[in-house]
A and B are shown apart, each in its own frame.
Chain A
Amino acid sequence: MGDSSKSSLQVEPSDAQARFKMPVDSEQKATEFWLFSFAAPHMQAFHLSWFSFFCCFVSTFAAPPLLPLIRDNLNLTTTDIGNAGIASVSGAVFARLAMGTACDLVGPRLASASLILLTTPAVYCTSVINSASSYLLVRFFTGFSLASFVSTQFWMSSMFSPPKVGVANGIAGGWGNLGGGATQLIMPLVYELIHHIGSTRFTAWRIAFFIPGLMQTLSAIAVLALGQDLPNGNYRKLEKAGDKHKDSFGKVFYHAVTNYRAWILALTYGYCFGVELTIDNIVAEYFYDKFNVNLRTAGMIAASFGMANIVSRPGGGFLSDWISTRYGMRGRLWSLWVVQSIGGVLCVVLGLMHNLSAAIAVMLLFSFFVQAACGFTFGVVPFVSRRSLGLISGMTGGGGNVGAVITQLIFFTGSRYSKETGITLMGVMILCCTLPISLIYFPQWGGMFCGPRADATAEDYYAAEWSDEEKEKGYHSSSVKFAENSVREGGRRRRPSPTVPVEATPTHV
């Protein structure tokens, strides 16, 4: 995926360039994305981060496909199962915020590996639970591992240059989310193998949980052994050598919570990613009950929802990057709103389908749009802030989980709404909560309905996060470089954009 408009990117001096197999920009971030390469440190970081995140998803959603066994073994009620489903996604709300800060302070490699290794005991202990409350607890603690999403996005944003950050974030996020679908196939298969070898039903499912646990442990060790925070090295080494300034939590926190765009994206992400998590938790049961398919078929349908992530979320990231080459940040915002709204419409339609094949078809379309919207969201997030990137990624990610908690609480707990009504109403909520995207405005690039201000620059925007004293000490140097590399977010200025709304101020040529 070569990029021909390199005039906005500074060319590295040849000795620094020679260190890396891949072409890099002035921040040593890769300007190309080679999917099938393991070139250190960029592509290696990519593969380590998406796979460890995939393992976290496999563990978090390992229980739903085995519920027919677990609910009999532990004598669970529908209420117990619903509460545990909510618990599984609520832990990560705060964990994602904490993770964002941790990435800003100690780097994504240590932050993600620590989280993943510290949550594996919950996965192993799932094999010894014996009551509804212990089931809820293990799902709650296992769900914390979903916070590794933030470190994935942060790491990709640190390793890849703005023209490629969307596709890197999209594939890493999408292939990680894939775990939620893959586990619906993996766990029943592992269970049947163990049961076939000779264990009773109620022992076989317990043994099966060691597989996701081991996957998690080994992938986190690989991250620690092989990974690297930044193209130039790890945080601790760089900080000791004085190459990287160790930022203060208070400042990072302040610049994240005072940026309204972070809050809007946190809300809207709850209605693409949050909805995806909710569907992961309920779709197998929905098809099983409404259409009377057997459990294996319901599991396969459930898996296909999550498996669409192989292409849908990366597709969103890729399209976000591609649209920004023509229409800049405004294109990214418009396309995010359009795609997520179509997802909302399809969700409304899904609840209205009474025919099995129609429902599966609508569900697959719905999965593509809602997952692509996640990819589009993280095409915008890296540009909201440079100083507080980690915490803002965490806020957005946490917002995703809040959306999952809210939608499950309102629509899928208790018997107030039938599942199909719940799905339709959830679609309506998606449409309403996607509208705030129109309020996002970047002075230097514009928003959905307004063009950019003539005198605003990216340098001013990112430098505004640092005080004058900090600027004098040069702490903001990476922000300046990032701003230079983001010039392309202004869109093509050689000719006027054909989609400029009539009421907007004309973009300056």
Chain B
Amino acid sequence: MAALISYQVRVLPFLLCYLGPSAAVLFSSLPKTLIVTASPSPGQVLYAGVDQINVTWAIDQSQPGGTVSAYKKVKVSFCYAPASQADRGWRKTDDNLKKDKTCQFKITTQPYATAGSVAYTVERSIPTATFFVRAYVLDSEEAEVAYGQSTDAQKTTNLFDVVGITGLHASLGIAAACFSAFSVVALAFFFVVEKRKAKK
């Protein structure tokens, strides 16, 4: 019996490891150790699939950071500005980064260096909205340990707009019109046939 219990006690830590990091990473606990600049000027409009932006980031030497040795990767994303989050619960900001839905579009993930940059063509899957750019520093377990963003803490400055593709094509309109017309004509056809049959 004692052997069984001690076996379970030994197995438990292994199980906990497989469960993954148990503490949730809170955004408010992250140090802002990166300076991130994005090329669009404030209020600039970018067209999805067409326009390009340049994002540069660098370690902020003046900030007391976390353990730099833990910095392994940098993940840069487009994040929704508050104006595009209003009345849209699926884009809500949550302090718990597992539940946070602010940053939904990844631009790039690169191995950590004290400075980096990326040239990015706005993908066609990006919707019409107002954005800023944020970079998270990840550790070896892909958990966020620091961040930087192109806007201020209230997310009011340096925002830019993206105009997404509509997804419309002329062929869609033509097909919709044809099928609709076919439905109505089919109905009219049967009505006429009915009237003729009733007359006989």
Interface residues of A (CB under 8 A from B): 68, 71-73, 75-79, 110, 113-114, 117-118, 120-121, 124-125, 127-128, 130, 200-203, 205-207, 210, 213-214, 217, 220-221, 224-225, 234, 236-237, 240, 289, 292
B73-119 residues at the A interface, CB under 8 angstroms: 86-90, 99
- How far, in angstroms, from A439 to B196 measured CA to CA in the complex? 49
Who on chain A is nearest to B185 by CB? A117
Q: Is the CB of B168 within 8 A of A200?
A: no
- Listed in ascending order, the chain B residues whose CB lies under 8 Å from chain A are 86-90, 99, 124-125, 127-129, 164-169, 172-173, 175-177, 179-180, 182-184, 186-187, 190-191, 194, 197-198
Let me know if A73 and B164 touch, CB within 8 A. Answer: yes
CB-CB under 8 A from A124, the residues of chain B are: 175-177, 179-180
Interchain Cβ contacts under 8 Å between A and B, 9 examples: A71-B88, A79-B87, A114-B187, A124-B175, A125-B180, A202-B125, A217-B186, A236-B194, A240-B198
Inter-chain contact A214/B179, CB cutoff 8 Å? yes
Which of A125, A203, A237 interacts with B169 by CB under 8 Å? A203
Which among A130, A202, A234 has the highest number of chain B CB atoms within 10 Å?
Answer: A202
Residues of B within 8 Å of A121, CB to CB, are: 176, 180, 183-184
- Report yes or no: A200 in contact with B176, Cβ–Cβ below 8 A: no
Q: Which of A120, A220, A240, A289 contacts B89 (CB 8 A)?
A: A289
B127 proximity list for chain A (CB < 8 A): 72-73, 75
The residue in chain A whose Cβ has the minimal distance to the Cβ of B86 is A77
Q: Is the CB of B164 within 8 A of A72?
A: yes
Task: Give the nearest-CB partner of A216 in chain B.
Answer: B183
Known: A68-B90, A128-B172, A202-B125. 5 other contacts (CB 8 A): A71-B90, A77-B87, A121-B183, A202-B165, A202-B166
On chain A, the residues within 8 Å of B87 by CB distance are 77-79
- By the criterion CB–CB under 8 Å, are A110 and B179 in contact? no
Query: Given the complex, which residues of A lie within 8 Å of B194, measured CB to CB?
Result: 110, 234, 236
Given contacts A200-B124, A237-B197, contact A217 B183 (CB under 8 A): yes
Kindly identify which residue among B89, B176, B182 contacts A128, using a CB–CB cutoff of 8 Å: B176
A246 vs B191: C-alpha distance when bound (angstroms) = 18
Verify B198–A237 contact, CB threshold 8 A: yes
Q: Which residues of A contact B172 (CB under 8 A)?
A: 127-128, 203, 206-207
Contact B176 A125 (CB under 8 A): yes
Q: Are B183 and A75 in contact (CB under 8 A)?
A: no
Contact B179 A200 (CB under 8 A): no
Q: Is the CB of B124 within 8 A of A202?
A: yes
Instruction: Provide the bound-state CA to CA distance between A222 and B21, in Å.
Output: 58
Q: CB-CB < 8 A to A117: which residues of B?
A: 183-184, 186-187
For the complex, give the distance between the alpha carbons of A234 and B198 in Å. Answer: 10
**Chain A hits for B175, CB < 8 A:** 124, 127, 210
What 9 pairs across the A-B complex have the smallest Cβ distances?
A: A202-B167, A121-B180, A72-B127, A77-B87, A124-B176, A117-B187, A203-B167, A120-B183, A224-B190
Chain A residue numbers with a CB within 8 Å of B166 are 73, 130, 202
B170 nearest CB across to chain A (Å)? 10
Report the Cα distance A224→B183, complex, angstroms.
12
Measured between beta carbons, the chain A residues less than 8 angstroms from B124 are 200-202
Chain A residue nearest to B84 in the complex (CB): A75
A73 to B175: give the CA distance in the assembly, Å.
Answer: 20
Q: Is the CB of B173 within 8 A of A128?
A: yes
Cα-based distance from A484 to B58 in the complex (angstroms):
89
Q: Which residue of the partner chain B has the closest CB to A73?
A: B167
Would you give the shortest CB distance from B101 to chain A, in whole angstroms?
11
A470 to nearest B CB, angstroms?
24
A225→B197 CA distance, assembly (Å): 13
State A203–B173 Cα separation when bound (angstroms): 12
Cβ of B128: which chain A residues have Cβ within 8 Å of it?
75
CA distance A205 to B168 in the complex (A): 11
Q: Is the CB of A213 within 8 A of B179?
A: yes
Q: A206 near B168 (CB under 8 angstroms)?
A: yes
What residue of chain A has the Cβ atom nearest to residue B198's Cβ?
Answer: A236
Q: B167 to A200, Cβ gap below 8 A?
A: yes
Closest to B99 in A: A292
B174 closest partner in A (C-beta): A128
Q: How far is the CA of A356 from the CA of B16 in the complex (A)?
A: 22
B contact residues around A200 at 8 Å (CB):
124-125, 165, 167
A residues near B86, Cβ cutoff 8 Å: 77
The distance from the CB of B123 to the nearest CB of chain A, in whole angstroms, is 9
Q: How far is the CB of A243 from chain B (nearest CB, A)?
A: 13
With CB as the reference atom, state the residue of chain B lying closest to A122: B180
Interface centre among A124, A205, A237, by most chain B C-beta atoms within 10 angstroms, is A124
What chain B residues lie within 8 Å of A236 (beta carbons)? 194, 197-198
**A437: shortest Cβ distance to chain B, in Å?**
38
Beta-carbon contact of A78 and B89 below 8 Å: yes
| Chain A residues, CB < 8 A from B129 | 75
Q: With A71-B90, A202-B124, A217-B186 in contact, is A120–B180 under 8 Å at CB?
A: yes
Contact for A210 among B99, B179, B183, B197, CB less than 8 A: B179
> Please, which residues of chain A bring their CB within 8 A of the CB of B183?
117-118, 120-121, 217, 220
- Within 8 Å CB of A79, what residues of B? 87
Instruction: Name the residue of chain A whose CB is nearest to the CB of B188.
Output: A117
- Look across to chain A and name the residue whose beta carbon is closest to the beta carbon of B166: A130
Which residues in A have their C-beta under 8 angstroms from that of B180? 120-121, 124-125
Task: Give Cα A234–Cα B187 distance, bound, in whole angstroms.
Answer: 16
